[in-house]
Each structure stands twice: as structure tokens, then as C-alpha cells.
Amino acid sequence: MDALLKPWPWYVAGPLIALIMVLLILMGKRFGMSSNLETFCSIGGAGKFTDYFKVDVKSKRWNLLVVLGSVIGGFMGAKWLSPNPAVGISDKTVAKLKDLGFESAGTTYLPTELFSLESLSSPKVWIILLVAGFLVGFGTRYAGGCTSGHAISGLSNLQRASLIAVIGFFIGGLIMVHWLFPLIFTS
């Protein structure tokens, strides 16, 4: 049980991910989470309104199981396999986040200032979450996939577009954290 309660080292997790990617490549499958939204919309009948969602849902069922497994695994990991809810980030980062008003920094994975029922009473939180959700959704479709699809599946298939997308994700993340994040959250 102790092995499940601690993070796995790179030399265990990395080869496991590589093995899964080899199996997916051999089966002619692509891994990614954002494509499941398209499948969910197709199942929900979006194909009646636009041809984009007229896809063969049966061929994508396997990836829906990945989503289900991620949800169940995430719940189990958070509920029973996380002995310490604190996040392992540097004291300097915790201090910067607390200066921006995140008192829960370093104590929880999701800041309660944004992800709690009490925070939903703030219009600023709603605007931030809605704009962020739109930007993530737009960026995912514009890039032709999400970070997991490009960084894991696309790079393992040596796709140039995935390399460009992953570089863009990192540049965007750096811009967000170092320039935009402090602008949004300084009072």
C-alpha cells in the first residue's frame, strides 16, 4: 500500500506511459481527452445541428472508457490514496500566491478562492472561470487537440504539429503565470 501512497518515480511512470502509447499506436488509436467532448456532443445529438458532429461514435467508445477511468481513478486517488492534501510547491511560490490573495496556497490542489461553493458568489470568479473555460476550449480546437493529446500521443507519433502545439502551450503558460496571473489577481 505504501507504493500507492507515494508518487511514482519517472523511471516507473515513464515506461508505463510509453508502453500504453506503443499499444495505442499498434492498435491505430490516438490518445487525448478533448476529443471526448466532440464524442459527448455527438452522443447528445449535436449532429442534428451541424455536420461536424456527425461522427462514428462506436469507434470512439474506447476513449470514453479512458474518461470514465480518469474520473474514477481521480476520485479514488483524492479520496483514499492521498495521505497529505498539501501540494509540494516551493515556499517562494506559496508566498507569491498568498500575496495575490490565495490563502489556501500549498494546502490544497485547487485554490478554494476559486473552486469552492462560497467563491461562486463572486461575479469576478464567474467571469474568470467562464473566460478561462472559453479560452481553453477555443485553444484546444484551434490547436487540434489538448495538452495530453499533443504532448503524449502526438509527440510519441513524431508529429511536427504536436511539437509546435506543445511549445505554444509552454509559452502560453509562462505568459499566463508571469504576466497575466498577477494582473488578474492583484487587488
For 17-52, write each residue's pLDDT tens digit. Answer: 889 888 988 988 877 788 888 888 888 888 899 888
Closest listed residue to residue 77, CA positions, set 12, 177, 7? 7
CA distance 22 to 157: 10
- pLDDT band at 170, cuts 50/70/90? very high
CA distance 116 to 113: 7
CA distance 180 to 187: 13
* Whether residue 131 has pLDDT greater than 90: yes
Helices (H), 6-122: 10-26, 35-43, 61-80, 91-99
